Amino acid sequence: MPKPILIGAKLNLKRSALKTVEGELQTLLNKRNELEAAVNEAQTEDELAALENEVNENESAIEAKENEKSQLEEEIQQLESELERSNNKVPTNRSKTNDNGGKRSMDKEQLKELRSAINAYIRTKGAEVRAVEGFKLVDGGALVPEELLTPEKAPEDVVDLLQYVKRVPVNSASGKYPVIAKSGSKMNTVEELEANPELAKPKITDVNYSVKTYRGYIPVSQEVIDDADYDIVGLIDEEIRDQELNTRNAAIATVLKTAKPKTVSSLDELITLLNTGFKTAYQVKLYVSQSLFNVLDLMKDNNGRYLLQDDITVASGKRLKGKEIVVLDDEIIGDAAGDLKAFVGDAKAFCKFFDRKQVSVKWVDNNIYGQLLAGFVRFDVRKADENAGYYVIYEDAPGA
């Protein structure tokens, strides 16, 4: 079987699986709304407590389906790229999630028209707005659809923290998101026909979010603007991705650093924190600065063997007591080069990323012979479960 046909067959299977998973996820999300309504309308503590287990199970199922959906989308993107290379043309069924959670696609000609419309908007500084499918103005700027943001694999030394926290798509600029703390409670055994015993009351906390607008800009010379053959959208693709990644990471790290502070001065104390500092329900990882990673990575036992465990399946290549180690720049998880700091915990439970998922561009005046092409992204990051992590300061004591 020719390679393009084989890839196409795999792609169809993945897309079919994705459609199934999206349906299952929507069912779970609908159930979440029903459970939230039931919690709000509960008349007694017994009735409220009885909902806890069902809510927790549903949230776990949602998280699993979202992970499955993300994995399928990544596999589809890889197959589309492979098919494009094989056919030496733009894939004609690159998919995108619309505002209602459905799927829509743009073919090669539609993408070409949309790119041309955005280029025209940019060159005329907003004077020309074409009626083209997919072209949309947001807050006075042109929305850049995902189809035109070239999917590129991030460099291996760049960590995207969004993959480690809970992403919550939102359709409004502000609101509340209910979070149920992991209680570790359990049900009781009862004899037949006996009254139900009271269950532990769930701790439900409303996390208030308020979407903020983040900006970055790209200086573009007037000579480039005047060059009618120049693809300005192509110019901004990579830079927007870079600035969006850096902005997200900084915002997420800022929230991670608000965790309860914990000072340790030896590897033993760090291991004790892993062993005793968390309920077993949490999926704990270590998000460490490069300098702290270097300190830990060089530690050896009395036989000269390194103490960190090798694992080629994780980006850092290392684990501690089975927990993944994620390495970040010193200035991201710390404050300056050389900081021995880390967030230790379940980042997905600790931190929620409320995503409006919009990238737009508009012109900003500049006092040189050129313009500043500004990019805008909108999101908010909030702490949800304060028991899910610690902000560790490692004091490298002598002989530690």
Q: Which domain holds residue 373?
A: 144-170+212-400
Return the pLDDT at 135. 59
Q: pLDDT tens for the chain, 400 residues: list them.
A: 446 667 766 777 788 788 888 888 888 887 887 777 777 776 777 777 777 778 878 888 888 888 888 888 888 888 777 776 665 544 444 444 444 444 445 566 776 777 777 667 666 666 666 666 665 655 555 555 555 554 444 444 478 899 899 888 888 778 887 777 665 556 556 666 666 655 556 667 778 888 887 766 666 666 655 654 545 555 565 666 777 888 889 999 999 999 999 999 999 999 999 999 998 889 999 999 999 999 999 998 888 889 999 988 888 889 999 899 999 999 999 999 999 999 999 999 999 999 876 555 555 555 555 555 666 778 999 999 999 999 999 987 554 4
In a domain, 98, yes or no: no
CA–CA gap between residue 62 and residue 27 (Å, rounded) = 9
In a domain, 131, yes or no: no
Return the pLDDT at 53. 74
The dihedral sign for the CA sequence 351, 355, 359, 362: negative
In a domain, 384, yes or no: yes
- DSSP class of residue 315? T
253's enclosing H/E stretch is: helix 232-256
Return the pLDDT at 71. 85
Half-sphere exposure of 37 (CA within 13 A, CB side): 6
Tokens representing 111 are 């993408």
CA–CA gap between residue 107 and residue 82 (Å, rounded) = 17
The dihedral sign for the CA sequence 185, 191, 192, 198: negative
In a domain, 69, yes or no: no
Q: Which of 334, 346, 326 shows the shortest CA–CA distance to 274?
A: 346
pTM (whole model) above 0.75: no
In a domain, 333, yes or no: yes
In a domain, 191, yes or no: no
For the CA atoms of the chain, what is the radius of gyration? 25
In a domain, 351, yes or no: yes
- DSSP class of residue 357? E
Q: What distance separates the 2 farthest-apart alpha carbons in the chain?
A: 84
Return the pLDDT at 27. 84
Return the pLDDT at 292. 95
Return the pLDDT at 188. 58
Residue tagged 């053959």 (tokens): 229
Total domain count, the chain: 1
Asked if 170 and 211 count as a contact pair (C-beta separation under 8 A), the reply is: yes
Return the pLDDT at 243. 77
How far is the CA of 51 from the CAs of 41, 45, 196, 303, in angstroms? 11, 10, 13, 53
Q: Could you give the 3-state DSSP secondary structure of residue 201?
A: coil
CA–CA gap between residue 143 and residue 136 (Å, rounded) = 5
In a domain, 199, yes or no: no
Return the pLDDT at 94. 41
